[in-house]
Amino acid sequence: MSAREDHLVELVDDGGTVLGETSVAAAHQPPGQLHRAFSVLLIDPAGRVLLQQRASVKTRFPLRWANSCCGHPEPGQSLRTAANRRLLEELGVGPVGLTEVGVHLYYAEDPSTGRVEYEYDHVLCGAFSPDQPVSPDPAEVADLRWVDPEQLSAEIATTPDRYAPWLVGVLDRYLRSGPSHTSGTPAGGGPAEAGVPAGAAGGPVGPSDNAAEPPGGR
């Protein structure tokens, strides 16, 4: 088990209110404990999104294609700070200006490892040029590719088992967000985060963004 499995995450209710904390490993043991997470989508000037194929050593959904970067904020840590930490660790890039475009709550069981994802997932988007250098950690990332989001939607519908189960929700929040998703703010917060509860990125979230999705449905 990697050292990151010992890191603490925030346990939350289905409205995102903090209830406590536990380790990454414990949160993902069956039947799962609802906790705060984030998913980052990097978008190029043509509107393509950067996907990563998760490394074979991942404890959850290895070798599935997923969004650019995923992770969990530590208790009390801002989402943008945590997301930029993971962008650096996974892809060797950053800091990147990020904007929250929505939240989705999902549950999924990994048949290959027996672990569970039960997450209150904040979706963060940021502009990134394909010309910028990346240095992916092979312990985190098996491969990278840029793809048109509409093409990606079609691919997921045709071959869902190739993709991480949360990617449908992440892509949906991005497509619904409109053209302002790459405006971003500098890493570590700034005025946009003032007065926001610990762990929140500060973007507006509507009721439909928090709708629970069926267990294992993605």
Q: Which residues are the active-site residues?
A: 70, 119
Nearest alpha-carbon partner for 55 in 69, 43, 42:
69
Supply 184's token pair: 């971003």
Contacting residues for 97 by C-beta, under 8 A, at least 6 apart: 126, 127, 182, 183, 184, 185, 186, 187
Supply 3's token pair: 């050292």
Phi, psi at residue 78, to the nearest 5°?
-70, 150
The whole-angstrom distance between residue 187's C-alpha and the CA centroid of its chain comes to 16
Quick check: bond before 191 cis, omega within 30? no
